[in-house]
Structure 1
Amino acid sequence: MTGVPASAAGGPSGARRAGAGAASAASGKVPGAAAGRAAARSAEGGATGAGPGAPAGAGHGGAASGEAGTGVDEAPESVDDAQGEDGPGRGGKLAAAAVNQASVWNIANLLTMLRLVLVPAFVALMLADGGYDPAWRSLAWAAFAIAMITDLFDGHLARAYNLVTDFGKIADPIADKAIMGAALICLSALGDLPWWVTGVILGRELGITLLRFLVIRYGVIPASRGGKLKTLTQGVAVGMYVLALTGWLATLRWWVMAAAVVLTVVTGLDYVKQAIVLRRRGIAERKAALEEKEA
């Protein structure tokens, strides 16, 4: 039908929306400029004609488009009002940081703390009653075994459950070397283990640790399978020496300790080789980067 006024073509629905937008602006339900935009778009939707070629409900579609546009325009204002002056992202980022930051008092760090506490307990048990009582030596072995077992689990738990903390990074290697060093020194002091064995093992551990820090600017030396096997062999050998073994078991522990010493030396040399290669590669990359920058 032609010649129908646009207001009539929009129908009473568009008129009602325009009136509602104006009433909302007058009553203050829609704040500020959003109220004006709501009324204007509602009126525009009501005034949209539904000519002969227009699909049914075109006038209502125009009104609906106006309402949708108003909702989008209002969204940032409503979000700002809900979040406050800090904006919508700041509070969310702080909350996410608080959730992602692992607490120092997590299970991995507690196991590391337990291992640190076991060091003086182990020394006291090892040297009790002159250091040669089989009962006290058995208790010292139990403390040493617990410390070594917790060493296997705390790092795995920290990585698996995102519990890595600065405290753990520092305390874990200290606890590892403290319990092993205490056991070796006690055994050598009691005459059960030659001092040169203690010197080789401790010298290697301290030297590789220092080497890692020296080349950290060029990269990280990863732990190798040989290094893990060395740690396991050392733990078994030292544990067998802590126990008051006799007979063929005493002979067996000598061979296990010999294997531990060999692995200690071989893996130490391998780490030195990796450090040299890493340093050379880092220097070459820096030199190439400087030459490219100058060019």
Structure 2
Amino acid sequence: MTGVPASAAGGPSGARRAAATPAGRSRPGGTPGGEASRTRTPASPGATDSAAGGVPEGVPGSTPRGVSHDVPSGDGRDGDGHPARGKKIAAAAVNQASVWNIANLLTMLRLVLVPAFVALMLADGGYDPAWRSFAWAAFAVAMITDLFDGHLARTYNLVTDFGKIADPIADKAIMGAALICLSVLEDLPWWVTGVILGRELGITLLRFLVIRYGVIPASRGGKLKTLTQGVAVGMYVLALTGWLATLRFWVMAAAVALTVVTGLDYVRQAIVLRRQGIAERKAALEEMEA
């Protein structure tokens, strides 16, 4: 006979003939072992075994049966598309190491300068011009680093949770320490210290109260206020006399005025932000109920 009947592939005689074929030998027109239903493409290592319903065993790059697919691939992900365990550990290590970046180090320096400034400011009774000059140097370094750390963090993507918390604390700590020391030494009226510190603490609390509705952005007036406060307090830290002492009085007056005006503006923004947030939530609830 020159051909195989159509019933040989599915009938009893075909089954007996397939069983009688030795393993590893091929019949004309068939595959080794007579497994005509099994397809395997040599050029495709990941080809599936249609008879077994999975990946063929022994093919390079395939996953053996019964073994988990959590094997990292070339792009650092496992068989399910999730980041490999080693990648997660490495990413966590990088995140922890990023805390020690240049922006955070400058913030830490400001925190360290606070007690150093107080010690220099109050040294020898607090009226020695030399010690006051050293205190001014510490205050100036703290204010300059305040200008750079935020810029570096935003420019080079160095923003961390530590920086978000420590940076405003360091800013208020050095300014508060300077104002309190000046008032203790009777160089600055206590009401000025109360107005400036009360505004800073009040605005910080206000930001937390309305954070559920949004964030109050820093305004140009707020930045000008910070700069004017730094210059005014720095001039009071130095033992100035004559026309410089008169000039620092007017600079401090401008700082107090900016402190009050910008504080009221932040209150206005907080009220508007809260009203908008409440209105949006109410509209969303009405839309869900409709």
TM-score, structure 1 length as denominator?
Answer: 0.73
Q: What CA deviation, in whole Å up to 9, does each residue of 1:145-170 have, x standing for no partner?
A: 01101111111122222222222111
Q: What CA deviation, in whole Å up to 9, does each residue of 1:250-291 have, x standing for no partner?
A: 111111111101100010000000000000000000000000
Partner secondary structure for residue 120 of structure 1: helix
Alignment of 1:95-110 (within 5 A): 97-98=91-92, 101=95, 103-110=98-105
Q: Tell me if 1:90 matches 2:83.
A: yes
Q: What CA deviation, in whole Å up to 9, does each residue of 1:90-111 have, x standing for no partner?
A: 3175267337625222211111
Q: Tell me if 1:68 matches 2:57.
A: no
Letter of the structure 1 residue corresponding to residue 209 of structure 2 = L
Q: Tell me if 1:247 matches 2:236.
A: no
Between Structure 1 and Structure 2, which shows a larger proportion of helix residues?
A: 1
How many Å apart are 1:72 and its aligned residue? 5.7
How many Å apart are 1:188 and its aligned residue? 0.9
Match of 1:77 among 53, 62, 76: 62
273-282 or 109-118, larger mean C-alpha shift: 109-118
Number of aligned pairs?
Answer: 237
- Counterparts of 2:265 and 2:47 in 1: how far apart (Å)? 64
Q: Tell me if 1:123 matches 2:121.
A: no
1:72 and 1:228, CA in 2 relative to 1: closer, same or farther beyond 3 A?
Answer: farther
Which sections of structure 2, spanning at least 5 residues, go unmatched? 1-23, 26-34, 49-58
1:286 and 1:245, CA in 2 relative to 1: closer, same or farther beyond 3 A?
Answer: same
Alignment of 1:157-236 (within 5 A): 157-236=152-231
- Counterparts of 1:119 and 1:234 in 2: how far apart (Å)? 17
Letter of the structure 2 residue corresponding to residue 101 of structure 1 = N
113-122 or 72-81, larger mean C-alpha shift: 72-81
Question: Counterpart of 1:276?
Answer: 271
Alignment of 1:254-265 (within 5 A): 254-265=249-260
Question: Counterpart of 1:49?
Answer: none
Letter of the structure 2 residue corresponding to residue 253 of structure 1 = R
Q: What CA deviation, in whole Å up to 9, does each residue of 1:216-255 have, x standing for no partner?
A: 1100000001100100000000000000111111111111
Maintained 8 Å contact 2:45/2:61? no
- Counterparts of 2:244 and 2:91 in 1: how far apart (Å)? 54
Q: Tell me if 1:146 matches 2:141.
A: yes
263-272 or 66-75, larger mean C-alpha shift: 66-75
Partner secondary structure for residue 274 of structure 1: helix
Maintained 8 Å contact 2:71/2:78? no
How many Å apart are 1:81 and its aligned residue? 8.1
1:289 and 1:181, CA in 2 relative to 1: closer, same or farther beyond 3 A?
Answer: same
Which of structures 1 and 2 has the larger relative contact order (alpha carbons within 8 angstroms, sep 6+)? 1
Letter of the structure 2 residue corresponding to residue 208 of structure 1 = I
Letter of the structure 2 residue corresponding to residue 97 of structure 1 = A
Maintained 8 Å contact 2:70/2:78? no
TM-score, structure 2 length as denominator?
Answer: 0.74
How many Å apart are 1:182 and its aligned residue? 0.5
Letter of the structure 1 residue corresponding to residue 62 of structure 2 = E
- Counterparts of 1:251 and 1:157 in 2: how far apart (Å)? 36
How many Å apart are 1:83 and its aligned residue? 2.6
Q: Tell me if 1:287 matches 2:282.
A: yes
Letter of the structure 2 residue corresponding to residue 77 of structure 1 = S
RMSD value, Cα: 2.7
Letter of the structure 1 residue corresponding to residue 227 of structure 2 = L
Which sections of structure 1, spanning at least 5 residues, go unmatched? 1-24, 27-35, 42-65
